[in-house]
Amino acid sequence: MQIVKTIQELRPIIQGWRKEGLSVGLVPTMGYLHDGHKSLIVKAVGENDRVVVSDFVNPTQFGVNEDLSTYPRDLERDAAVCKEAGAALVFHPEPEEMYFPDSCTFVDMDSLTKGLCGKARPTHFRGVCTVVSKLFHIVAPDRAYFGQKDAQQLAVIRRMVRDLDFGITIVGCPIVREADGLAMSSRNAYLNEEERKAAIILHESLALGEKMLEDGERDGAKIREAILGSLDREPLAKVDYVEVVDAETLEPVEDIHRPILAALAVYIGKTRLIDNFTFDAFK
């Protein structure tokens, strides 16, 4: 497995694979890989001849006073995960490699980025769309793999690929959870022991909402209130948002008759965690 740090070095490798007629998968990450990331790589390896994992903490998707400087990084550990999962190459550029000093071009969108995480992080998805677009141009994959835990990001990337005719298949992969239900996340490393125990309230609260849907409840407001009520049981939990939205448009829904996404963002101490579930009983 190779570790490549520059676009100039990466492109000839990709071109060589293409000349051999090989398919290419891309798993974009910000590093500090866990079993959730590993599951994406394993799936990509199963569906492509060669897999590139990008390992890049993207500065443009962090807002003012967010955790860019403290975001966990461990390339040696990441490389071991990628090698074990079967990746062919890790692309690990510096910010200066990805962005010119006078860069003034961004990729952005309306509607899908206004609510949920975009409401509190207004520049976040502009950064996500820009860096993912750049990675798509640099790697030119056949398929790209994203986790369902970042459900809004997955919806945004799918829409961007459709709207801008990238010709890349976007593969969404299930949330991978710890034994107690907490969604795996690089930011879980921030939690102390007490906070880690408290964090399971996210999954427990969403599970309550999912059970209501399975039992026939179709009032979005009632499901949202039940999730909020459950979160309120945990003193360390401070809610950023809880929303029940259309799975495609990400607009809030009252009467549920189409596939929906129930998503939340909650601070446990100083750590902001997200989780969600989708519900589709209308096929």
- The residues carrying an active-site annotation are 37
Residue environment code for 65-93, b if the CB has 16+ CB neighbours within 10 A, otherwise e:
eeeeeebeeeeeebbebbeebebbbbbbb
Rg (CA), the chain: 19
What whole-number distance in Å separates Cα of residue 10 and Cα of residue 55?
13
Residue environment code for 208-244, b if the CB has 16+ CB neighbours within 10 A, otherwise e:
ebbebbeeeeeebeebbebbeebbeebebbeebbbbb
Residue 250: Cβ within 10 Å count: 23
What whole-number distance in Å separates Cα of residue 254 and Cα of residue 259?
12
